[in-house]
Amino acid sequence: IHPGYGFLSENAEFADAVAAAGLVFIGPPADAIRSMGDKAASKRLMIEAGVPCVPGYQGADQSDAVLIAEADKIGFPVMVKASAGGGGRGMRLVFEASELEAQIKTARSEAENAFGSGELILEKAVIKPRHIEIQVFADKHGNVVYLGERDCSIQRRHQKVVEEAPSPFVDQALREKMGEAAVQAARACNYVGAGTVEFLADSEGN
């Protein structure tokens, strides 16, 4: 069964049901979908695997007091993000500590309405980043390769408008560094099939 894109292709329960029916699911294993479908869990997994991540907070304690204290440690500006979703929903860019508490409440409410979970993560805001996606491909025998990058920096409301390949920003050294990190990410979650690992790069290529 080929599930298409979005929706069922990102549904771990559907992948489990296909396997339980004795059919082949064309996509990653259900456990990989589960571990990578939650921003907090996936970020903890990536940090453990040595994949470079934007500094932030992805802990279990979701109290306002802890989120505010962690944001102070990270330093402003920070991004507040819904752990369970994407597409810009439950996401807020906060420049000042005085704005944070209100933005946490708004992001949490939006996340609960959109995704059924109010869990949030915090990340250091990368201002005017390059959004680079690396395509990976993995088989069931542990072989993983990267196939090049797409520059998805032209966005509107956190949604990609134009994708350009190869990226005019990425040189060969950075391409190899990002490609190897993407392979590490795929291996860390036992990924199978075609997938995309998303990176943010600052103006200096970090």
Q: What is the pLDDT of residues 93-135, one digit of tens each?
A: 999 999 999 999 999 999 999 888 999 999 999 998 999 999 9
Residues facing 186 on adjacent strands: none
Angstrom distances, CA of residue 177 to CA of 94, 119, 122, 143:
30, 31, 25, 18
pLDDT at residue 6, as a whole number: 78
Percent of the chain residues topping a pLDDT of 70: 100
**Listed residue (62, 59, 98) closest to 77, CA to CA:** 98
Residue 94 three-state SS = strand
Q: The whole model's pTM is what?
A: 0.86
**Listed residue (164, 168, 140, 134) closest to 51, CA to CA:** 134
pLDDT confidence tier of residue 158, bands split at 50, 70 and 90: confident
pLDDT at residue 86, as a whole number: 74
**87 has a pLDDT exceeding 80:** no
- Kindly give the pairing relationship between strand 193-201 and strand 130-138: antiparallel
